[in-house]
Structure 1
Amino acid sequence: MPAAHRRKLPIGIQTFSDIREGGYYYVDKTPFIEKLANQNKYYFLSRPRRFGKSLLLDTLGCLFEGREALFYGLYIHDKWDWQQRYPVVRLSFGNGVAADREDLDANIRYQLQQQRARLQITSTAPKRIADDFASLIEQAHRVHGQRVVVLIDEFDKPILDNIPDSDRARELREGLKNLYSVLKDADPHLHFVLLTGVSKFSKVSLFSGLNNLRDITLSSDYAAICGYTDHDVDTVFAP
């Protein structure tokens, strides 16, 4: 195929809109996403670094926000109700290293503040982080009239970054557990939840209250939800 007809390789790009609008190759993962959205409410996915987890979350965010133009030509386009738009809360711990609990708490507060601004929630945030997160979810539901989608990327990175210092790792684990515990009681306000990371959640005891969290890490139905298969390389990337 002539070089002029080739698209660009999406190396290191984690933003779905950049790929779709920037002339990059995209392996259509929306068949998996449609199944995710219609089967359960709470999910967990573990994959190694650089495996496309952040792109998956961004794709889900765009879908639930109703950004239809990005999905033209993809499997899910004519199977999705584009009139339904959901408030999406996105948290990520992929950037930077949390030096201690105070640093982690400041990071969480900053992210929650960003989400309030993005969702046009103007009321004052409560002092406790757990209350802040719970309040954000409840208010987003009330303001937007739809239940909330929560997407959390690299849920375990602050712990893994501090594995050599076991005391600090435990301290950060408690801080994250405090945050994630909110999701159980927020159930009436939640439409969909996905958390991704590198480690298995059961090993770090962060979600003890979320006994309905479905782990799809080793599910054959979702084996190819991130990354590329041989078939993808031989077809999508054939040029």
Structure 2
Amino acid sequence: MGRVNDTKIALVTGANKGIGLAIALALGAIGFTVAVGARDGTRREEAVERLRAAGVDAFGVALEVTSDDSVAAAAATIERTAGRLDVLVNNAGISGRLDGGAQDPTTLDLDVLRAVLDTNVFGVVRVTNAMLPLLHRAGSPRIVNMSSNMGSLTLRTGPVMAAYAPSKSMLNSVTAQYARRLADTNVIVNAACPGYVATDFTGFSGTRTPEQGAAIAIRLATLPDNGPRGGFFDDEGAIPW
């Protein structure tokens, strides 16, 4: 499956549904070849078919972000298929169980906290570090970490969720650390908040469409070389941390 050398390649994790699929569609619409990262094989192939039906050059990549082996294999697949990576969107995330006070801080289930951190933070680090060698081969590489304003210590939005919200606070902090480390490279890293989007993640109770939620990711994925680094943004601009 040879790729044209001047075509930009993007990997979107958790791209089989919701905001991830909307990001994949939007990147494809502006000419990216999209690697659809997803752990469920059937859903992954369905997403690839949906993207191709919309005119997007897409291919599936088996990707379980909590598995070192899976992430290493995904990097090898992208290297073999595309040879480099221009954009990484770390979109895969989980909210964690809520039943029985599992995310009430006074009764916090530490297994839930571990599971949420493993996907939302450790998974992002795992994927980012595996993909960095491929990103360094690109002319203007961009990393977008999909966060949430629930992680803002200033805003404190949303319900009390003592596993999910701190996972996004930590993701924002990790994003800043990557930006500092990569300051003298051409890799630009930022965090994005899509807003309260109606997907199965929110029980379809959000006020925004997946397309609206994807817009900030596209903006950060296509920043100019003098764009911001290590920031946290939504459609309105910088978000208080």
Larger Rg: 1
Q: Compute the TM-score of the two structures, normalised by the length of structure 2.
A: 0.40
Relative to the length of structure 1, the TM-score reads: 0.40
**Higher RCO (Cα < 8 Å, 6 or more apart):** 1
